[in-house]
Structure 1
Amino acid sequence: MHLSLVLSVIISFSAILVLRPLAVNWGLVDTPDNRKQHSGNIPLIGGLAIYLSTLSTVSLHLDNKHINLILISISLMVFIGALDDRYDLNAKLRLIAQILIASILTFGTDIQISSFGDLFGFGEIYTGPLSGLVTVLAIVAGINAFNMTDGIDGLAGTLALISLLAISFVISDVSIELLIGALTASLIVFLLFNLGLFSKKNKIFMGDAGSMMLGLVVSWLLIVTSQSEQAIVAPAHVLWFIAIPLIDMIAVMFRRLRKGKSPLVADREHLHHVFMDIGLNSRQALLFISSISLVFGLIGFLIISYQLPEYITVISFIVTFIIYNKLLSLRHKFKLPK
């Protein structure tokens, strides 16, 4: 395991150094606009580097049907994401591609959401013949949840890192642990470049290729953790490991629909935008949101450890969502002193 992590770091680091100068020729750069407020054209190769590192490391050490299917799925996801980074694909076309890729993973591995668990204390809720459809929709939701968090430096990567580490504490499958380890090591290397910890001039973004890939992997791992034959976690409880991206996505889409807008059209209504609107800089917003995500992950771990009933998670999520929406509606009344 330790050797594979070192290999992942080396490949990720090398891929970034090789791909970064090629990004301009390929047109894989992020240009500032009204919604994107960074300086200069930033290479969108972080996701490609994470993918190449994870694919190489896992392929060299594993030959497992389920792992092979997740590798095929993330390969397709990264391809679509890279096309989106380059050509800014239509949102509906991107959604169709996500559904097809999620379907390959869902029906190929045959690991599906067969039960929502005992959400209300009245008995287990089964999905029956709709299990495949429910699973595909859940994966697509996870893909877009992480994609929507990729608005400030380090956020999507850090939230994915927290999710992966949380999952690693409750899963015992060696092949899954290797996948998580390789992805985690690659993510850490990416974050060093993304946050400018090496140097500002070597800054990179992960792009849609990266954020959608992370959403796909995290969503599938949560389903494996709560639905496979080795499942040891109640379905509702794993939501704590993806709480920030999930709650933010649902809240943003809810507000867009209420305003008569398409839920797929990008805007500046996300949590990181809110924190910056009230006076935080991007680094402060990153630290604040990441801290909340860590707390949510810890809550989930404690609930799982003490085997508390699932209705506690359901009630907590509903209360959190209500508070979240209320605070968002009042955000214009708050302004931090400079």
Structure 2
Amino acid sequence: MNNEILYLITFITAFFTALILTPFFRHIARMFNIYDRPLTAVKTHKVSTPYLGGLAIWSGWVISLLLIRLITNFPTGTLNNLRSVIIGSSMLLLLGLCDDIKKGGLGFKFKFLVQIIACLIVVYFFDIRINFIENKTLSVIISIFWIIGLSNAFNLIDIMDGLSCGTAAIASFFFFIIALPSEMIYVNFCAVALLAACLGFLPFNLSKSKKIFMGDTGSLSIGFILATVAMGTSYTKINPIGIFAPLIILAVPIYETIFVSIMRILKGKNPFLGSKDHFPLRLEKMGYSRKQILLFVYILSFIFGIFSYTIVKIDDNISYLIFSFIILLLVVFSVRLSKVKVD
């Protein structure tokens, strides 16, 4: 069976599994009273909403991968990579689930500890890490920071319906098409499965009558999967600046993390504590509706994805121009947003 058919089977399985399991987990959340209640000032929704959507996304992702494993023979290296991502993401899934269920959530120190352990399993024991850094110790350390940072970045932008999940779907699509010729086919299968699972969940996240949040259960595990997928393929076969392709694909969550952290530090606030200073909320303060903001972020993410694909495939000079344009765009955008008064 050729890979194209296997990718299609993976997509269909992940999509329909998430589509079917999302209302099931919504029912479970309502049965056991697992809600995200707007009891604090940093909450951006007004009505208590069921959690556990992240379980549907992750289940769609992992079930599709297990099915593909049953009907095809992967090389040993691919199997090890898949095992590592499944093990690590399941740890982040359980961490997020405990955080969603526990009243008041878990402390950030404990959450970071669990994330470090999950990262060590993937980076040190299974050797999925940033390969262009020759010193292994340095490579392991930076890879751990990368995974933890991105996992929390997707958690950070999960402050508006469809924002984190939709951004993850777009990023998955571009990781898939960039990695498609790669021999590291675990990247291809992980990316296409996550794309489909996110799309299966998204209609319920955007629904008014059947709304469900993915919670930390979803955002942490999704960020973890994408961080490991990003390290699994080469971007510099044509030009060295292609090394920045993963940063551009994931520019929205990375930008949000850096922007919010800087703004909070400048105001003397703890960057780990929540507040209504996220860039989508600043856009809302400027008068844009949530639908407009969501469409803007989706279009921006897609444009960044096209830029990343372009710099991987073309020569140095145009790549440098594209990269410089992106930096200039984000700087101008940041200056404008920083002038918006927020709570």
Same fold (TM over 0.5): yes
Contact 2:44 2:159 in 1 (8 A): no
SS in 1 for 2:233: helix
Structure 1: distance between partners of 2:316 and 2:97: 42
Which whole-Å deviations, capped at 9, do the CAs of 1:157-180 have from their partners, x for residues lacking one?
111111111111111343332222
Structure 1: distance between partners of 2:176 and 2:189: 10
Query: Against the structure 1 CA distance between its residues 236 and 104, is the aligned structure 2 distance closer, same or farther, given a 3 Å change threshold?
Result: same
Please show how residues 153-192 of structure 1 align to structure 2 within 5 Å.
153-172=161-180, 173-192=184-203
Contact 2:235 2:245 in 1 (8 A): no
Structure 2: distance between partners of 1:142 and 1:190: 21
Counterpart position of 1:123: none
Structure 2: distance between partners of 1:242 and 1:142: 9
Kindly state the Cα deviation for residue 233 of structure 1 after the two structures are TM-superposed.
Answer: 8.1
Counterpart position of 1:122: none
Structure 1: distance between partners of 2:115 and 2:156: 14
Query: Against the structure 1 CA distance between its residues 9 and 327, is the aligned structure 2 distance closer, same or farther, given a 3 Å change threshold?
Result: same
Instruction: Verify: 1:266 aligned to 2:274, yes or no.
Output: yes
Query: Against the structure 1 CA distance between its residues 226 and 255, is the aligned structure 2 distance closer, same or farther, given a 3 Å change threshold?
Result: farther
Structure 1: distance between partners of 2:191 and 2:132: 25
Structure 1, gaps ≥5 residues long: 117-125, 334-338
SS in 2 for 1:202: coil
Which whole-Å deviations, capped at 9, do the CAs of 1:166-206 have from their partners, x for residues lacking one?
1111113433322222221111111011111xxx2211111
Query: Against the structure 1 CA distance between its residues 240 and 108, is the aligned structure 2 distance closer, same or farther, given a 3 Å change threshold?
Result: same
Structure 2 residue aligned with 1:108, among 100, 125, 131? 125
Structure 2: distance between partners of 1:228 and 1:104: 26
Please show how residues 260-299 of structure 1 align to structure 2 within 5 Å.
260-299=268-307
Query: Against the structure 1 CA distance between its residues 26 and 326, is the aligned structure 2 distance closer, same or farther, given a 3 Å change threshold?
Result: same
SS in 1 for 2:209: helix
Contact 2:96 2:220 in 1 (8 A): yes
SS in 2 for 1:201: coil
Please show how residues 310-329 of structure 1 align to structure 2 within 5 Å.
315-316=324-325, 318-329=327-338
Structure 1: distance between partners of 2:88 and 2:241: 24
Instruction: Verify: 1:67 aligned to 2:82, yes or no.
Output: yes
The one-letter code sitting in structure 2 at the alignment partner of 1:99 is: I
Contact 2:14 2:193 in 1 (8 A): yes
Structure 2 residue aligned with 1:29, among 29, 35, 39? 35
Counterpart position of 1:16: 22
Structure 1: distance between partners of 2:150 and 2:273: 17
SS in 2 for 1:263: coil
Counterpart position of 1:302: 310
Kindly state the Cα deviation for residue 27 of structure 1 after the two structures are TM-superposed.
Answer: 3.9
Counterpart position of 1:42: 49
Kindly state the Cα deviation for residue 321 of structure 1 after the two structures are TM-superposed.
Answer: 4.1
SS in 2 for 1:268: coil
Contact 1:144 1:215 in 2 (8 A): yes
Please show how residues 73-88 of structure 1 align to structure 2 within 5 Å.
73-87=88-102, 88=105
Structure 2: distance between partners of 1:274 and 1:295: 21
SS in 1 for 2:232: helix
Structure 1: distance between partners of 2:174 and 2:331: 25
Counterpart position of 2:3: none
* Cα RMSD for the two superposed structures: 2.5
Structure 2, gaps ≥5 residues long: 1-5
Structure 1: distance between partners of 2:24 and 2:107: 29
Which segments of structure 1 move beyond 6 Å, counting only runs of 4 or more?
none
Kindly state the Cα deviation for residue 55 of structure 1 after the two structures are TM-superposed.
Answer: 1.3
Which whole-Å deviations, capped at 9, do the CAs of 1:29-87 have from their partners, x for residues lacking one?
11124222324221112110011111111112226111011011111110000111112
Structure 1 residue aligned with 2:250, among 213, 228, 242? 242
Counterpart position of 1:210: 218
Kindly state the Cα deviation for residue 324 of structure 1 after the two structures are TM-superposed.
Answer: 3.1
Contact 2:246 2:308 in 1 (8 A): yes
Counterpart position of 1:222: 230
Contact 2:18 2:57 in 1 (8 A): yes
Identity %: 26
Structure 2: distance between partners of 1:4 and 1:223: 21
Structure 2: distance between partners of 1:328 and 1:240: 20
Instruction: Verify: 1:256 aligned to 2:273, yes or no.
Output: no
Contact 1:226 1:233 in 2 (8 A): no
Contact 1:111 1:227 in 2 (8 A): no
The one-letter code sitting in structure 2 at the alignment partner of 1:175 is: Y
The one-letter code sitting in structure 2 at the alignment partner of 1:326 is: V
Kindly state the Cα deviation for residue 320 of structure 1 after the two structures are TM-superposed.
Answer: 3.8
Moved more, 216-225 or 54-63: 54-63
